Amino acid sequence: MLKLKQKSRGKKQYYVAWFLSLSCLIAGGILYRYFVNFIATTTINLPLPLSVFPFEIEDWKGEDSEIPTTIREYMEKNFADDYISRRYINSEIQAWADIYLVYCASRPGSILGHRPRVCYPGNGWVHDSTDKSDFLTEQGRKVNCLIHRFHKPAPSYSEIVVLNFYIVNGKISTDEKEFSGFSGRFFNLTKNPARYVTQIQISSITENNIRKAAIDMTESMLKLMPDEKGGISAVKNMDL
């Protein structure tokens, strides 16, 4: 009889422990989803929004490009705190270039979802090659970059060349390992705008076009980005 009581008590303890474990697991999942949703709807703003980037730089004149709703929703779900998409035309050299800037600070590593080798194939482009390169800005600054080439197969055959690099906490980089680890994927709980990754992407049909746009525009882009201490050149100098 005693053994039966002990066995029955043991079963009850087992079921109680199982129920408590399951309850904790469910509660943890709910709290985690709430936490992620809270962070996802809480953006970290730059001192100056990317929208103040000039529409006229050197001989380039730009207009905002319409971003499809599905892409905009994807960007926002992937922690894009600020972004612009514009087409610039240089009538002097008969060239055009698309400028795409994405600033991620809520969870910096989320910029991986916006990189060219993800977003272009996701929109029907076939990746052909990626090469390391560099250029000198109008002020003589050397900037390392990546040159990506994509094409769309027949019947709508077309080609595009994409120059891109990243600003990681105020420093120029092409190494995605700097923000693809745990620290980059972790949420920016302190809301520090100087802990971020910004992707700078310039695309066109020829490499000459993107290089010319990069040379003329990069310094103005960098002025909007926080340095390691959170300061922004454009705010200090009121000049882009």
Range of the domain at 175: 42-237
Percent of the chain with pLDDT over 70: 65
Domain total of the chain: 1
Write the burial class of residue 114 (CB in 10 Å: 0-12 exposed, 13-18 middle, 19+ buried).
buried
The predicted structure's pLDDT at residue 156: 83
- For the chain, what is the mean pLDDT? 78
Please report whether residue 211 resides in a domain: yes
Q: Phi, psi (5° rounding) for residue 195? A: -105, 100
* Bigger pLDDT: 142 vs 189: 142
The predicted structure's pLDDT at residue 68: 65
> Is 70 exceeded by the pLDDT of residue 113?
no
Mean pLDDT of 199-207: 95
> Is 50 exceeded by the pLDDT of residue 143?
yes
Please report whether residue 101 resides in a domain: yes
Q: How far apart are CA 74 and CA 52, in angstroms?
A: 23
Please report whether residue 9 resides in a domain: no
The predicted structure's pLDDT at residue 73: 65
Please report whether residue 128 resides in a domain: yes
Please report whether residue 75 resides in a domain: yes
> Is 90 exceeded by the pLDDT of residue 226?
no
> Is 70 exceeded by the pLDDT of residue 37?
no
Place of tokens 């390992």: 177
For residue 44, what pLDDT band results from cuts at 50, 70 and 90?
confident
Greatest alpha-carbon pair distance for the chain in Å reads 99
Please report whether residue 64 resides in a domain: yes
Please report whether residue 13 resides in a domain: no
The predicted structure's pLDDT at residue 71: 64
Q: How far apart are CA 207 and CA 84, in angstroms?
A: 22
Please report whether residue 29 resides in a domain: no
The predicted structure's pLDDT at residue 107: 73
* Bigger pLDDT: 185 vs 131: 131
Q: What is the pLDDT of residues 115-132, one digit of tens each?
A: 888 888 888 899 999 999
The predicted structure's pLDDT at residue 131: 97
